[in-house]
Amino acid sequence: MAMEDWKVDGKKEEEQEQEQEQEESEQVVNPWVVSAKEGGKIDYDKLIIKFGCQKLDESLVQRIERLTNRPSHVFLRRGVFFAHRDLNEILNAYERGEKFYLYTGRGPSSEALHLGHLIPFMFTKYLQDVFRVPLVIQLTDDEKCMWKNLSVEESRRLARENAKDIIACGFDITRTFIFADFDYVGGEFYRNMVRVGKHVTLNKVAAIFGFTGEDHIGKINFPTVQAVPSFPTSFPHLFHGRDHLRCLIPCAIDQDPYFRMTRDVAPKIGYQKPALIESLFFPSLQGQAGKMSASDPNSAIYVTDSSKIIKNKVNRYAFSGGQDSIENHRKHGANLEVDIPIKYLGFFLDDDAELESIRREYEAGRMLTGEVKKRLIEVLSELVERHQRARSAVSEEMVDAFMAVRPLPNMFA
């Protein structure tokens, strides 16, 4: 290689490294941290490129509608679930008459869920209903014990409390198994963890998850725990004899690193690669530079909030794209790209025509910020009150029933 070529290649490599460092300084997305540079927002197109997943296009949404003979979920229609891995393979298999199962989860670190936590469960319920398939829900109480410095006992208690909120989403008990890691890990599940662990080097897990020499060894091994629910043999009481059953995982895109690792290992140990369908983050009330945080009560709407609290949070903290005066607003209209009330209505206002009307009138300045926030308060209050009624009906015995290790005889019926 000529010296000039070496210099050019070296310069390109240096420029690429600088660009990567700049991107990483602008946004950080991993299973534990989601943030964008102050004043910015998460660039999902860059995430798709960085993670190597695929954009979920309109043709896939239409295909789901055709196969299920049901209207698509609002989260599909509006691009809340926007990326995937091998979703087309799952749909091909379903069209051939083959079965699959769903897997999603929750890391129980707080007493109650906020609306961002509900997104994957609301969507997973839709998938369970329209495809009529079984579902396993993992409660990673061990993860939160290690990352949040919670005691084992407190982590287990929070897992049961979170299970009540999950059950309140309306899952079919004849097709759903909820398990907590502290109670379930063992047997074939643990054997699969060891199989995965033997194929993931310390260098690889450090590169994927950013672990350092200061992280304790429990963290380094945890990714195997979240990986193996992707494999049907981890649940012999459910899928005995169905070793090649496909798995579809609905989740937020920050969980993608776990399953990039899993998909790399799966063929090496004789399993199908899990497919994923991945969502945007539900933004903080204060803006789009991160996701709702359970550690900041003013950034989030909780399923335990009263209508009065919801009204106060939306009016005080929801970042507005409206102008600084009524006169300027009437003249220039709202900036919908940064307006959080509009973003939230995009998640939870079912009526497409009403949403489009609000967007049009607000952007033109004919509708004021206060009017948009008023409508959002109505929508969120109704959603939370409905969830609270459902949760109040979930007894300890019902939690035990969902978490019982049992066969599901009619799970594919």
Return the pLDDT at 41.
79
| pLDDT for res 39 | 55
Order of all β-strands in the sheet with 27-29? 27-29, 34-36, 287-291, 283-284
What pLDDT does 28 receive? 82
More confident residue, 36 or 242: 242
Average pLDDT over residues 149-170: 96
Average confidence score pLDDT of the chain: 91
Say which CATH architecture domain 35-284 belongs to: 3-Layer(aba) Sandwich (3.40)
The closest of 157, 231, 161, 156 to 191, measured between CA atoms, is: 231
Torsion of CA 92, 95, 99, 100, to 10 degrees: 40
pLDDT value for 18? 45
Instruction: Give the model confidence (pLDDT) of 341-391 as tens digits.
Output: 999 999 999 999 999 999 999 999 999 999 999 999 999 999 999 999 999
Domain ranges of the chain: 35-284, 295-392
Higher-scoring residue by pLDDT: 366, 31: 366
Name residues whose C-beta falls within 8 Å of residue 245's C-beta, 6 or more positions apart in sequence: 99, 100, 101, 232, 239, 272
Q: Could you tell me the pLDDT band of residue 298, with boundaries at 50, 70 and 90? A: confident
Distance, in Å, from the CA atom of 165 to the CA atom of 384, rounded to the nearest integer, reads 11
List the one residue out of 26, 61, 85 whose CA is nearest residue 249. Answer: 85
pLDDT for 19 equals 47
- Residue with the bigger pLDDT between 35 and 191: it is 191
DSSP secondary-structure letter at 216? -
- Note the pLDDT tens digit of each residue in 103-140: 999 999 888 899 999 999 999 999 999 999 999 999 99
Find out whether 180 and 403 touch, Cβ atoms under 8 Å.
Answer: yes
Q: What is the pLDDT of residues 46-92, one digit of tens each?
A: 999 999 999 999 999 999 999 999 999 999 999 999 999 999 999 99
In the predicted model, what is the mean pLDDT of residues 309-335?
A: 94
Neighbours of 38 (CB within 10 A): 8
Per-residue pLDDT averaged across 221-236, rounded? 97
Q: Of residues 261 and 25, which shows the higher confidence score? A: 261
pLDDT at 278 over 90: yes
Distance of alpha carbon 144 from alpha carbon 158, whole angstroms: 10
What average pLDDT does this structure show over 258-262? 96
What is the reported pLDDT for 38? 63
Residue 320's pLDDT is what?
94
What is residue 17's predicted lDDT score, i.e. its pLDDT?
43
Which of the pair, 322 or 5, is modelled with greater confidence? 322
State residue 29's pLDDT score. Answer: 81
Q: How far apart are CA 233 and CA 246, in angstroms?
A: 11
Q: Tell me yes or no: is domain 295-392 CATH 2.60.40.680.
A: no
List Cα–Cα distances, 62 to 57, 68, 356, 391, in angstroms.
9, 10, 21, 33
CA atoms within 13 A on the CB side of 36: 18
pTM > 0.85: yes
